[in-house]
Amino acid sequence: MNLFVTGSEGQFGTALRNTVVRKSMNNCIFLSKTDLDITNYAEVREYFKNKSVKGAVIINCAAYTDVEKAESEPEKAFKVNSQGVKNLAEFCRKSGIKFIHISTDFVFNGLKKGLYDESDIPDPVSIYGKSKAEGEKAVLENPENCLIIRTSWLYSTTHNTFLNKIIGRSKSGTPLKVVEDETGSPTYAVDLAEALIKICEKISQIGNFKTAVYHYCNTGSVSRYEYAKKIIEFSKAAVEVIAIKSNELSMKAKRPANSSLDNSKITSDFNLEIRNWDEALKEAVEKINEQ
């Protein structure tokens, strides 16, 4: 398989790289922002000019992901999450490359009771969510050979995410205040990376396919408060977790109250086995404890 990964230094790009190394896969090229700035179409075209792209797949992990900061610099968020994605999707169409784009649960408004499936209509409530929804629209303009994979509450042991922050803060012994009115599906980047490699292998072996949207998360749904409590339980830290309401925090960006995803379509279409969120979390916490 001929695979290119953009935004490779980020959390998910790193998880993909580690998976590729673990599987001793060849022909996988990881492109940091310095190697390839997706917002510059000429740079994208130039980078691939003399590369063999026959049967290639590009996975776009490049994104502007600072949800809070996006509220004060929307043009930067839209440049990467919308224009950059449009550049890649267009380039892939013109070059016969298959394209996988990672998107987010934050395209939803959070008002649904229950799990969001792929038929639910995006209605973002933050600048970050709006910029990602625009990026999705740009991908959907290409009727063939693109997959949008929305994921949620992504965490890893390699980058500073909710998981690492909770473990770090627990060390002070001061009670942790965590919101109980935000519900979602935590997703271990390692599990998503394994799944994406399987998906890439499958789509690189088939001919043209219809562009589609999928949801991938670890199975289940939990409040941030319950999620933090599980992290503390698994890490055996002796610290109290206190439930608070999101309006007690002075956040600029609005978050969806519920953005739990339904992963059944990707599970059946790609024959995946997706473990529960707490099983994956236990493994990640154990890994951090060993470090």
Count Cβ atoms below 10 Å from residue 267 Cβ, excluding itself: 17
Q: Total number of residues binding ligand NAP (CB under 6 A)?
A: 27
Q: Is 165 helix (H, G, I), strand (E, B) or coil?
A: helix
Taking CB under 6 A as the binding criterion, the range among 3-11, 115-123, 219-227, 276-284 that sits at the site for ligand NAP is 3-11
Taking CB under 6 A as the binding criterion, the range among 36-44, 172-180, 201-209, 222-230 that sits at the site for ligand NAP is 36-44
Q: Going by C-beta distance under 8 Å and a sequence separation of 6 or more, which residues neighbour residue 26?
A: none
Q: Which of 17, 19, 20, 37 binds ligand NAP (CB under 6 A)?
A: 37
In the block, residue with structure tokens 């490699």: 197
Q: Which of 3, 4, 5, 12 binds ligand NAP (CB under 6 A)?
A: 12
Taking CB under 6 A as the binding criterion, the range among 99-107, 118-126, 195-203, 245-253 that sits at the site for ligand NAP is 99-107
Q: One symbol per residue from 265 to 284: x for binding ligand NAP (CB under 6 A), - otherwise; what is it?
A: --------------------
* Nearest to 166, CA basis, from 288, 259, 278: 288
Q: One symbol per residue from 129 to 168: x for binding ligand NAP (CB under 6 A), - otherwise; what is it?
A: ---x------------------xxxx----x---------
- Is 11 a binder of ligand NAP (CB under 6 A)? yes
- Is 65 a binder of ligand NAP (CB under 6 A)? yes
Which C-beta is closer to ligand NAP: that of 37 or that of 182?
37
- Is 61 a binder of ligand NAP (CB under 6 A)? yes
Q: Which of 2, 6, 87, 260 binds ligand NAP (CB under 6 A)?
A: 6
What are phi and psi for residue 91, nearest 5 degrees? -60, -40
- Is 128 part of the annotated catalytic residue set? yes
| Smallest distance from ligand NAP to CB 207, Å | 27
Q: Is 276 helix (H, G, I), strand (E, B) or coil?
A: strand
* Nearest to 221, CA basis, from 187, 194, 269, 179: 187
Q: Which of 128, 214, 225, 227 is catalytic?
A: 128
Q: What is the secondary structure of 101-156 as a DSSP string? A: EEEEGGGS-S--SS-B-TTSPP---SHHHHHHHHHHHHHHTS-BSEEEEEE-SEE-
Closest residue to bound ligand NAP by CB: 10
Beta strands in the chain (DSSP E): 2-6, 28-31, 56-60, 98-104, 146-151, 154-155, 176-179, 183-184, 187-188, 212-215, 222-223, 241-244
> Sign of the C-alpha dihedral, residues 88, 91, 93, 98?
negative
Q: Going by C-beta distance under 8 Å and a sequence separation of 6 or more, which residues neighbour residue 202?
A: 270
| Smallest distance from ligand NAP to CB 213, Å | 13
Taking CB under 6 A as the binding criterion, the range among 48-56, 100-108, 200-208, 272-280 that sits at the site for ligand NAP is 100-108
Please tell me the distance from the alpha carbon of residue 144 to that of residue 94, in angstroms, as a whole number.
11
Task: Name residue 203's beta-bridge partners.
Answer: none
- Is 80 a binder of ligand NAP (CB under 6 A)? yes
Residues of the shown chain interacting with ligand NAP in the complex, contacts defined by CB under 6 A: 6-7, 9-13, 33, 37-39, 61-65, 80, 84, 102, 104-105, 132, 151-154, 159
Active-site positions read: 128
